[in-house]
Chain A
Amino acid sequence: MNNLESLQFFIPELFLTAGLLVTIIVELLLKKEQKVFTAYLAATVLLITIFFLIRQYAIEPAALFGGMVVIDPMAVFFKILTAVSTLIIVFFSIPSFRVKAEYYVLLLATTLGMMLMAQVNDLLMIILAMELVGLVSYVLAGYRRSDPKSGEASLKYILFGAASTGIMAFGFSYIYGLTGQTNLFEIQQALQSTQHNPVILFVAFVLIIAGLGYKIAMVPFHFWLPDVYEGAPTPVTAFFSVGPKAAGMAVLIRFIISIVAGVSADGQTFTANAPIHAQELLAVLAVLTMTLGNLSALQQKNIKRMMAYSSIAHAGYMLMALAVFTSQSVEAVMFYLVVYMFMNFGAFWVIHRMTPHLGSEEITAYTGLGYRAPLVAVAMGVFMFSLTGLPPLAGFIGKFYLFAAVIKAEWYILAVLGVLNSVVSLYYYAYVTKVMFLNRGDDESAVSISSYDTALLLVFLIPTLVLGVYWVPVISWATQSLHFFLG
């Protein structure tokens, strides 16, 4: 479809860009004490964008802008997911970033980047969309001007990100050199029509995985993550842990189904396209990722760092399912991302709102919280148990789908390692609950939280509980979104 025709299918993105510009202008007109208005404006823009996005489900899958991007239900799913996650982050950030209007502009810009990542179909666009997300993320990580840790996080992120993107771009250049194409479908055609040296393809694949793996925190490209998560302001950390990760997953999924393995006729399994052991490689990396994440989380004393390693582990679980290349596994990953969004945001929200009261991000500071702020502590306990994957909480259902997909594909050892990992993870999650409920601290004064805090807490808590016992809408949403544009 040519550029002009494509515009009608690009309404959400266009609206978001317009909203971004309007926000910048409005910000200039506001007095300092009124600037919180930009947050509400950004939220409104996102809300309307989500509304436009939902309407996109009616559109037949097609390639837009001469194949630069595609529109299909899978893309719409990830676009909605990332837009919703940003919307939540806007409300998440309001208490701490009241007068920083640029912050919300930057959030909108990343959202545009993530939405593009959900639908990219061209090597050039992959780099561009990822850079849009990446560059803005670097700024966001360094947003706490007074905190040197924040600046340090930003700098580490930028250097690591630049290196990874460089490696990935180099991998892309191999692909381009082999096929002469940048469009994913044309690359797929070219790979099928001529025989290429598998070693070169494999090297290219690994180099590309390095770039994508950095975005989703895959071992050994995860090094940046703990420092950045710890150093960045908590709302930004929460933002990094879901939106960009989901977008990275989207690119990885699209890359895999377009180039590495095509969808088979029945749409259930993916047939090998390039003669490389991509599945085995991903499986090994998945096991490494979750094992390293979980084992390292065990020794953390800072709760944000613990959550950082936990997020590495969770990336590992999702990769594990991706490695088996079935539509069931993709569905499981999509479902898991939704669940993960609620429970992870919830945990970060508690950390974010409790840190000023507790005066520290150390886990021991949470001692006896169950007696000082019962609702918050119970919610935190629920999030922790959900992250471990205990029924009847949402996290269990998510993990259940992941493991079921792996076992269905008869990768038993992978599944066993995955479940073993989730057992290990119990140890550090349960430790948080233990100090909150089974220990008493010196300070026993009640911690009061505002009604805004409580309301947002419930926004995270209720889905985590409800999706544990009734998850049909979400899983059907994922299933329906499992249609790809296949060229």
Chain B
Amino acid sequence: MITQALIIWLLPLLAFTIQIFVGKRLPRKGDWVSVSAIGISFMLSIMLMIQMFMAYDPEFAVTAAMPWIETGNFAIPLGIRLDNLAIIMLMVVTTVSFLVHVYSMGYMAGDQYYNRFFAYLSLFSFSMLGLVLWDNLFGIYMMWELVGICSYLLIGFYFTKDSAANAGKKAFITNRIGDFGFLIGLLIVFTTIGSFNFSAIHEGVSSGLLSGGLLTAAGVLLFAGAVGKSAQFPLHVWLPDAMEGPTPVSALIHAATMVAAGVYLMARLSFMLSFDAMLVVAYIGGFTAIFAATIAITQNDIKRVLAYSTVSQLGYMIMALGVGSYMAGFFHLVTHAMFKAGLFLGSGSVIHAMHHSMHKLHLHEDPNDLRLMGGFKSKMPVTYATFLIFTLALSGIPFFSGFLSKDAILGGTLAFAMSQHNPIHFLLPVFGFTAAMITAFYMFRLVIRTFYGKPVRPEIYEHIHESPKQMTVPLMVLAALSIFIVYTLPSFNPTGAAGGWFDHLIQHPHSAVSAQLGHDVLHIDHETEHLAHISGIIISILVAGLGILLAFFIYYWKKADHTRIAQSIRPLYLLSFNKYYFDEIYQATFVRGLLAWNDLLNWFDAKIIDGIVNLSATVTRVFSAVSGLFDLHIVDGLVNGLANVTSLFGNGLRKIQTGQVQNYILGALLGTVLIIIISLI
């Protein structure tokens, strides 16, 4: 099994190397190298999956390690851990990645840097798979950053577009801010426990090597990494901009894999979260869920709606991990990966069609704009049908996968709130249910405006065609994977995952924090859980139905004019439309702050130095007049003394700005004096 896992991991790396060095010279620019590499990885993942089913054991895990770095106080084995979590995640990554590879053959055809695109995709797959497989935080951190670099390259792939290049940089830097926390958390874990290995960390935390405030700090800091990568509030700003990249990239990275890395990390680390750290995680996640959903309502770019929806759904997953619903959070990751990848590829199909139509008509408008679409149902039947399935899944309608996982999360938050004495924690389920309603609303708004009704622009509509097979087949596969039954077998119950294989195989790992404290970090009794689950199902069906109804009410039956509604709540509308002005706030604070520093330095150069010079001249004149002792002669002489000495050996003064070096030396002297004075006071 380990060999299989290694092959799965390393094949994309091999493909990357081939592509980079000889890709251009291969037939078809070598796309088949990358596609077949990930294809084989995909097959092998299926085999791993089958082996997992044969074992059908929640505790199933295979680990292997060989020495890698070993010095006196530092040992990192080259270790791989294959447990149910890792295998399912491998499956998700290879499935989506493989489909996206296939899809890209159609979507990117004819691009100037076709082979380079596939090289980046392969490198990305390699780093993402590595992130899943490593059994230690150090390896994960390495892959984590590599994933970041790949996404930087892929988002900025359309580098001729300035916005794309900037979006790539923004994603990279925002991620690094989160990684700053990750790195410090990593260092705290390492310096206290002395190992990066998950099992060693588990033991270390259980035995109290890392405890109290430092444990909470480590948990929260590691979570900061996930906040960056999974685009949680307040580092969510990069994800919508990342939509500037090619659509397959959005599907691969920004729907299914990279953004899920943060969730996966938190799932891996959930055993070491203290109660306070869990609260932080839960509230950040819950707030992100509702916050991003409210933005998605007003966006007009089809991909941006999906981007904010992704942020919101990631918030759900994070919230689930925060309230201790380990299985629910990871479950939602899996189901969401499938239907959200489908939604992105579906939107890609629409954009592709729009693009071609506009190209024929020589129109230069935004092919992503919802307001130019409408009535595509009959022109693109496959895209429409699959898109509808994904939408239903995302909205949490029974019989689709999304319902199972979302319901599990909502039930989990409800159970968490009910088990706590503090009623304020009911905020979490409130966030969850409200966001669920909004989700249903904006998704149907999207579907209705794209596929239903009359064409807004008949001339564009005329030239819309269904996309080629490379693009529609992946959609159909993903649609099939969004049906509930895929996840509930051997049970056929459409209302809950309980009894299904997923529920059986993914169980909460024993909390090391509980072991350390001697009692459960979070205790939820069975009855509460049951009650929460039942009420969760009822409420979530109600809110989803309400959301859908509202969308049809406004956009399909046009019972209310949406522009008028927007007008009547204009301040709120603007707030949402402008994404709560977050980019502007960051621009005003951080970016402006740095610019201000630059200005300050320039100003210092221009004003202070000059000013001092001027001032000293003025003061000198007054001074010389008053005292008569120091005439201008002497004062100037003092100032010029060094300059004169340096001119002695014939170096022309014009060539040398000696004035500056005087300033430098004075600066050093003043520095010394200040250090002494400040220290002694």
Contact = CB atoms under 8 A, between A and B. Distances in A.
Q: Is A–B contact present in the complex under a CB 8 A cutoff?
A: yes
B651 A219 contact: no
Contact of A155 (B187, B191, B656): B656
B577 to A, nearest CB: 29
Contact of A407 (B73, B184, B679): B184
Contact of A438 (B168, B597, B646, B674): B168
Contact of A419 (B180, B597, B667): B180
Contacts of A434: 156, 165, 168-169
A430 B667 CA distance: 31
Contacts of A298: 594, 597-598
Contacts of B665: 159-160, 163, 223
A316 to B, nearest CB: 15
B184 A151 contact: no
A419 B178 CA distance: 11
A48 interface: no
Interface string B634-665: 00000000100010000100011110110111
Contacts of B156: 434, 437-438
B160 interface: yes
A453 interface: no
B667 A220 contact: yes
Contact of B71 (A404, A416, A475): A475
Contacts of A440: 159-160
B72 A207 contact: no
B145 A220 contact: no
Contacts of B172: 426, 430
Nearest to A280: B679
A415 interface: yes
Contacts of A472: 69-71
A160 B146 contact: no
Contacts, number: 151
B66 interface: no
Interface string A428-443: 0010001001111000
A167 B173 CA distance: 42
B71 A391 contact: no
B667 A223 contact: yes
B668 A164 contact: yes
Interface in B660-681: 660-661, 663-665, 667-672, 674-676, 679-680
Contacts of A202: 676, 679-680
A225 to B, nearest CB: 10
A392 interface: yes
Given A155-B656, A160-B665, A206 B159 contact: no
A214 interface: yes
A414 to B, nearest CB: 11
B72 A479 contact: yes
Nearest to B657: A152
Contacts of A223: 663-665, 667-668
A390 B148 CA distance: 10
Contacts of A483: none
A221 interface: yes
Interface string B53-77: 0000000000000001111111000
Interface in A372-420: 385, 390-392, 396, 400, 403-404, 407-408, 415-416, 419-420
Given A156-B660, A392-B145, 20 more contacts: A151-B655, A152-B657, A155-B656, A156-B656, A163-B669, A206-B679, A210-B672, A220-B667, A220-B672, A392-B146, A396-B142, A419-B183, A423-B176, A434-B168, A438-B165, A439-B165, A472-B71, A475-B71, A475-B74, A476-B71
7 contacts: A164-B668, A220-B674, A223-B668, A224-B661, A391-B142, A427-B173, A437-B159
Interface of A: 148, 151-152, 155-156, 159-160, 163-164, 167, 199, 202-203, 206-207, 210, 214, 219-221, 223-224, 227, 277, 281, 285, 295-296, 298-299, 328, 385, 390-392, 396, 400, 403-404, 407-408, 415-416, 419-420, 422-423, 426-427, 430, 434, 437-440, 470-472, 475-476, 479
